[in-house]
Amino acid sequence: MQSFSNLLKRFKNLTPPDGIIREAVSKVLMEQLGVEIPVQKIQIRSKVVFLQENNIIKSQVFLKKKILLQELQKVLEKQAPKDIR
């Protein structure tokens, strides 16, 4: 008989839906920058976050990119994005 943990091993590496990651990105941007970016303007491809916003907001994100990525790492752990553009 297999133990319960062995049965759940295959679900350990599942990635959350993009919606959860996009909401987390939006929340971290609001906390760190004070700018509310709608979830619809956030795209994720290959663990890279793409923002469809104006250049002023993108510049703010670029200046605080390291802090934002650290906060996302705390929130999302293994599923955290590797870059923000």
**CA–CA separation, 34 vs 27, rounded Å?**
10
pLDDT in tens, 26-78: 999 999 999 999 999 999 998 899 999 999 999 999 999 999 999 999 998 88
Of 83, 46, 79, nearest to 66 by C-alpha is 83
What's the whole-model pTM score?
0.77
For residues 73, 57, 47, 80, the Cα torsion angle rounded to the nearest 10 degrees is: 10
**pLDDT tops 60 at residue 1:** no
For residue 32, the tally of other CB atoms under 10 A from its CB is 16
Partner residues linked to 49 by β-bridges: 44, 84
First to last CA, the chain: 49
